[in-house]
Structure 1
Amino acid sequence: MKKLWNTRVAGVLMGVAAVTGLTACATGPDRKASDPLEPMNRAVFSFNESLDQHVAKPVATGYTKVIPQPLRNAVSNFFSNLGDIGNFANNLLQFKVTAATEDLMRFTFNSTFGLGGLLDWASAAGLPKHHEDFGLTLGHYGVPAGPYLVLPLFGPSSARDASGWVVASALTPTAYLPVEAGAPLFGLNVVSARADMLGATDLLEQAALDKYSFVRDGYMQRRAYLLNDGNALPSYEEPAESTGDLAAQAQPDGGAMPASK
């Protein structure tokens, strides 16, 4: 029997994060108002960093050394193509008809002429790639972001944006495969996404004095920027959410990656 294993995993992890959040320390006088859970978040961030350094990064590095670049591009294209389903659904929920139409055209074009999405002919044809998720949809309708939240394994998020992982899983076809087929695809997606981020994370390690603060501020600014449909540059002050609210990516459209709208 088919199992929605992606949804279950995401639900369990977010449940752990929520329970841990209830036990977090009270806010301190010098803590950002947008990050009242900083002690807990830093602990989860450290856990994620350790897991990344000892598992994810070595595996991703090996992946880039063993798998040729054209094949890695095909894998990235495949999961990006699946992500266009979520982009279409969320653009439609926001009544962005033009963007939703472009998402549907991208998915149809690449799935048909791009060998199931392995080739990205849609971008070459001039169809823009959008990046939407359910957190942005909620923000579009004025739902506040809530406190910044670092999720185990999934990384930077917020109380509002965390819901996007569950919805994204429901919109991902691979979530409906049997575990024996879905689990390897999920693992391949994670490795592929991490391999794509190797250069960015190396730069982050060299540039940031406090990686936690850098990732948090970059994530919050990025989300505010996306909610404004990329019509203005982020202010790099405390983000103000007029329509609702460089780390990621993740949201997930087959891999959480920062990108233009």
Structure 2
Amino acid sequence: MKTRTMMKRPGLWAGLLALALLQGCATGPNPRDPFEPFNRSVTRFNDGLDEAIVKPVAQAYQGVVPSPVRTGVNNFFGNLSDVWSFVNNVLQAKPQAAADSFMRVSVNTLIGLGGVLDWATPMGIERHREDFGKTLGRWGVATGPYLVLPVLGPSTVRDTAALVVDTKGDLVMQVDHVPTRNSLYVLRAVDLRASLLRAGEVLDGAALDKYSFTRDAYLQRRGAAVEPNGDEERYDLPETPPPARAK
């Protein structure tokens, strides 16, 4: 199964893949990946699980479910994630991003049939995806080394610790009725995997080390997501919160 972080923006991953192909396939020891032997073994397990179960289910879902329905499903879960993004934007002291997230949830929930229809995007209300790992990074917690988790995939030590809080903020996981909660969780995972099928095919056909590419792209994306100036995030140094703007 692909990762919760990787799954969120297929277009971004397609762009990173194109950049990697242009830059070539040279790889070497990465100081941010001291657990590489362990990580590679977990990656092989995840890839095997994906090939045997997750990918075929996602392909069947894409082939059977009409595109408008899949779009509605994706919108619905995106609206739920915007609630947690709002909380983290508040925690990160980003008033404009918090306001945008609040407006997205309000608009899509009230006039978008609970989020099935995305009215906020054509209205120009920007989406700001945030999680607790990014919130920790905003206030100076370093990422720590790269870490691949069983089933969940690429992460870092910081993001793994933040999963405890992210789970509490996941509205799907707060559903009390267990069969409904599990069904929603599986549907979300299948929908996310289906959205990555095309990018996965390109990656599978490319002459590069999939493990190294996934690792470097993940670390680059997480760093760019935290650092406001776009500089690469350092795992051995805490991020410095941006200075307050002069009034």
Give the TM-score range, shorter chain: 0.7 to 0.9
Deviation sequence 1:117-167 (CA, Å, 0-9, x none) = 000000010000111111111111111111100001111000001133322
Describe the SS at the equivalent of 2:154. Answer: strand
Deviation sequence 1:47-80 (CA, Å, 0-9, x none) = 0001111111100000001000000000000000
Paired position in structure 1 for 2:192: 193
Describe the SS at the equivalent of 1:146. Answer: coil
Supply the AA of the counterpart residue of 2:41: A
Matches within 5 A, 1:56-95: 56-95=54-93
Paired position in structure 1 for 2:239: 243
Describe the SS at the equivalent of 2:147. Answer: strand
Change (3 A) 1:38 1:244: farther
Select which of 20, 27, 30 maps to 1:32.
30
Describe the SS at the equivalent of 1:121. Answer: coil
Deviation at 1:228, TM superposition (A): 1.8
Deviation at 1:200, TM superposition (A): 1.0
Deviation at 1:244, TM superposition (A): 5.9
Runs of 4+ in structure 1 displaced over 3 angstroms?
A: 237-242
Select which of 42, 45, 62 maps to 1:44.
42
Tell me if the contact between 2:140 and 2:240 (Cα under 8 Å) persists in the aligned partners.
Answer: yes
CA distance in 2 between counterparts of 1:96 and 1:114 reads 25
Tell me if the contact between 2:143 and 2:234 (Cα under 8 Å) persists in the aligned partners.
Answer: no
Supply the AA of the counterpart residue of 1:131: R
Matches within 5 A, 1:155-234: 155-177=153-175, 178-229=177-228, 231-232=229-230
CA distance in 2 between counterparts of 1:117 and 1:90 reads 20
Deviation at 1:243, TM superposition (A): 2.6
CA distance in 2 between counterparts of 1:36 and 1:242 reads 18
Supply the AA of the counterpart residue of 2:51: Q
Describe the SS at the equivalent of 1:132. Answer: coil
Describe the SS at the equivalent of 1:75. Answer: helix
Q: Which runs of 5+ in 2 are unaligned?
A: 5-27, 242-247
CA distance in 2 between counterparts of 1:179 and 1:205 reads 36
Change (3 A) 1:216 1:128: same
Deviation at 1:239, TM superposition (A): 7.5
Paired position in structure 1 for 2:128: 130
Paired position in structure 1 for 2:20: none
Describe the SS at the equivalent of 1:123. Answer: coil
TM-score by length of 1: 0.77
Deviation sequence 1:73-106 (CA, Å, 0-9, x none) = 0000000000001111111001101101110110
Tell me if the contact between 2:76 and 2:114 (Cα under 8 Å) persists in the aligned partners.
Answer: yes
* Aligned positions, number: 214
Tell me if the contact between 1:57 and 1:194 (Cα under 8 Å) persists in the aligned partners.
Answer: yes
Describe the SS at the equivalent of 1:160. Answer: helix
TM-score by length of 2: 0.81
CA distance in 2 between counterparts of 1:145 and 1:239 reads 5
Deviation at 1:242, TM superposition (A): 6.8
CA distance in 1 between counterparts of 2:139 and 2:70 reads 37
Matches within 5 A, 1:132-147: 132-147=130-145
Q: Which runs of 5+ in 1 are unaligned?
A: 1-9, 11-29, 246-261
Tell me if the contact between 1:82 and 1:173 (Cα under 8 Å) persists in the aligned partners.
Answer: yes
Deviation at 1:241, TM superposition (A): 5.8
